[in-house]
Amino acid sequence: MREAEEEQYPELDLRLTAENVEELYEYAPCGYCSCLPDGTLVKLNQTLLGWLHYTRTELVAHRTFQELLSIGGRLHYETYCAPLLLLQGEVREISYQLRRRDGSRLSVLLNAQLLRDPLGNPLLVRITLFDITERQKYEQELLRAKSQAEEQGRQLARANEQLIAKNEQLTRINQDLDNFVYTASHDLKQPINNMAGIFEELMRTASFTDPEAPGMVSMFNDALRQMLSTIEDLTVVVQLQREQEHTTVELIELQPFTEELIRSLPARTDARFTLDFAAVPRLHFPRPGLQSILYNLLSNGLKYAHPDRPPHLWVSTALVDGAPVLSVRDNGRGIDLQRHGQELFQLFRRFHSDVPGSGVGLYLVQRLVHQAGGRIEVESQVGEGTTFRLYL
């Protein structure tokens, strides 16, 4: 045999064949043991005995392999490892803690093989054990980190659930508010119309002697009209909001769209309009929404024209960072943004008491733009004019 080997590897250094198999088994850099199918230890190597501080005679034929495990480990072995061995003939990379003679623990990784006799009956289990003390510490760290991450994940999920619930609640409240505004404006309309009718009737039939009466009557009439128009505006806000929710986005050709809109504005013969849609000729937007936005901005531009010069309005588009921007500029009175900037878009907020208006227009514009996922910027110079930029 030896001769044959030497012939096979003629160039081999003879010292390389001097490895003693017995010694290799006893002092291998891993633990070896063999046991009967019931676990009774029949053979252990010196490395393993050294790890455990046992002598061979204390263990062989007297103890089972399972008894070397921690109790929890033994439960795992009996319920998982042992059946698995019988089912598939081997198990690999199972992590256990061995109990040394003094009760201290040694972390090991176990590979095992089941040998059967010619009839197929279990004969012997061969077990190889690797000391994984250092690796085990690292794995414990990993496990700790994992369970921490899982806990954080659970907390996140809980926070997310709360957010979703809050969001649903807010949506519901918003809906309720809209409904409330709609119902209130609807319910107020009828009695105010009645008041107007009764007052008209009263004016026809009654006579007032007080010299101040005509002035007061006129003030009463103005107040009535103001009330009616506010209610009208509220209805418009809610209706537009509802329409916007149900209308679809379409591609709008801006030049004809704006020209038609200008024709529908309150006539003012001295007004000039300059349109320039060269940069972005078409926009994706719900048609009624864009109509309302442009109508409000343009009519504002006319309403708040500078008393010293005829109104001039510029409507144009541009591309900023690849996104369309629609601008409406006027040469009107301008707004003091330092003073009013914060409340510019608030409902019923008005800044020029000498011009009739309800304070609904800009609120509506902003709401429609926001609803479409856009935003508005305002730039203004008192006495020079105002520019609204819509990032859509």
Partner 1 sequence: MDVLKRNNVTVTGAGTQAMLFVHGFGCDQHMWRLVAPAFEDRYRVVLLDLVGAGQSDLTAYDPDRYNSLSAHADDILEVLAALDLPDVVLVGHSVSAMIGVLAAARAPDRIARLVLVAPSPRYLNDTDYNGGFEQADIEELLQAMDSNYLGWSASITPVIMGHLDQPELAAELNNSFCRTDPTIARHFARVTFLSDNRADLARVRTPALILQCAHDALAPLAVGTYLRQHLADSELVVLDTSGHCPHLSAPQATIAAMNTFLSPVPQEHA
Which residues make up the interface to partner 1 (CB under 8 A)? Answer: 37-39, 64, 66, 70-76, 78-80, 82-84, 86-88, 91-97, 122, 136, 139-140, 142-143
**Strand, coil or helix: what is 369?**
helix
CA distance 188 to 200: 18
Smallest gap from residue 165 Cβ to partner 1 (A): 21
6 token code pair: 């030497």
Nearest residue (CB) to partner 1, 6 versus 139: 139
Nearest residue (CB) to partner 1, 119 versus 267: 119
Is residue 109 classed exposed, middle or buried when 0-12, 13-18 and 19+ CB atoms within 10 A define those classes?
middle
Nearest residue (CB) to partner 1, 78 versus 232: 78
Nearest residue (CB) to partner 1, 79 versus 174: 79
CA distance 54 to 130: 17
Nearest residue (CB) to partner 1, 83 versus 310: 83
CA distance 106 to 133: 7
CA distance 333 to 126: 96
Do residues 107 and 128 make contact, with C-beta atoms less than 8 angstroms apart?
Answer: no
Nearest residue (CB) to partner 1, 80 versus 348: 80
Smallest gap from residue 120 Cβ to partner 1 (A): 10
Q: What is the residue type of 42?
A: V
Smallest gap from residue 122 Cβ to partner 1 (A): 7
Q: CA torsion sign, 271 to 277 to 279 to 283?
A: positive
Smallest gap from residue 51 Cβ to partner 1 (A): 18
Smallest gap from residue 139 Cβ to partner 1 (A): 6
Smallest gap from residue 109 Cβ to partner 1 (A): 10
Q: CA torsion sign, 118 to 119 to 124 to 127?
A: positive
